[in-house]
Amino acid sequence: MSAKPPTLPASLRVQPREGPLAEITRKLLDYLLSGEIEPGTKIPSERQLAEGLGVGRSAVREAIKSLSLLGLLDVRQGDGTYLSRSGSDLLPRVIEWGLLLEEPRIMDLLEARAEIEVVVAGLAATRGDVEAVDRVRERFEAMRVADERNDIDAYVEADLAFHLEIARTSGNEVMANIVTSLRSLLRVWAERVLHHAGETRTSLPMHEAIVDAIASGDAEAARAAMRAHMARAHRRLREALDAEHAAGAGAS
């Protein structure tokens, strides 16, 4: 039987100054790394955390989901949520979250991702063989299916797989690893951008243009198509961040 979780400190309570998810997740990070909970230990329930933070349970659930994506938390269905046992890589992941949560860093990450993915797209067009291009098309078709079903979560997964397949097709392992890391860091915000927009249909043509350019072996067109896609992603993230700020201001 797991030990009873510790009493939540009063300092945990959120004082909204930024987007709700960022503030809640930052508070949870401070708490999880305060030494109150050992790695491998069950953390307080969503209800207890919501009461301690002074926010709704749905907001806490989103923050926990975000932290679990980076491996900081282990969500066990029917049992509870545990602080990751992997203490050796806990600090690097927290540093990653610090980069993710601070708005200037989010934009820096997106800028870096855009430059690298543009280069990667050009390399994929130059180096991709028939089998590799077919795999990229398969990933795009998965995005199309998710769009037809209006399944935003599935679309995010398919979009991630699409970009990673292009990175692999580039034949540059270092750049492929960088793309993987950057997209993992921005994954939570990719979800929020699409949920904020409420649709995925307008995103598909931009991805299709990338596929067509890579398939034709036109590196210049592939870079241009990816650059246009990245510019749109940057703009939509800016809109989502502004919406987060507006929501935070309305709650304060």
pLDDT digits (tens, 9 = 90+) for 199-228: 888 999 999 999 999 999 999 999 999 999
**pLDDT reading at 250 higher than 60:** no
Backbone angles phi, psi at 63, to 5 degrees: -65, -40
Lowest mean pLDDT among 12-26, 144-158, 159-173, 232-246: 12-26
pLDDT at 126: 97
What is the rounded average pLDDT for all residues in the chain? 83
pLDDT at 169: 97
pTM over 0.85: no
Q: Chain-centre distance of CA 247, in angstroms?
A: 20
**pLDDT reading at 251 higher than 90:** no
pLDDT at 35: 74
CA distance 225 to 120: 12
Q: How confident is the model at residue 87 (pLDDT cuts 50, 70, 90)?
A: very low
Residue ranges of domains in the chain, CATH in brackets: 10-92 (1.10.10.10), 103-251 (1.20.120.530)
pLDDT at 70: 66
Lowest mean pLDDT among 67-71, 108-112, 115-119: 67-71
Using alpha carbons only, give the angle 189, 87, 9 rounded to the nearest 5 degrees: 75
DSSP letters, 169-183, are HTT-HHHHHHHHHHH
Residue 176, both tokens:
């492929």
Over residues 181-190, the pLDDT tens digits come to: 787 767 777 7
pLDDT at 244: 67
Closest C-alpha among 206, 204, 225 to residue 125: 225
pLDDT at 192: 74
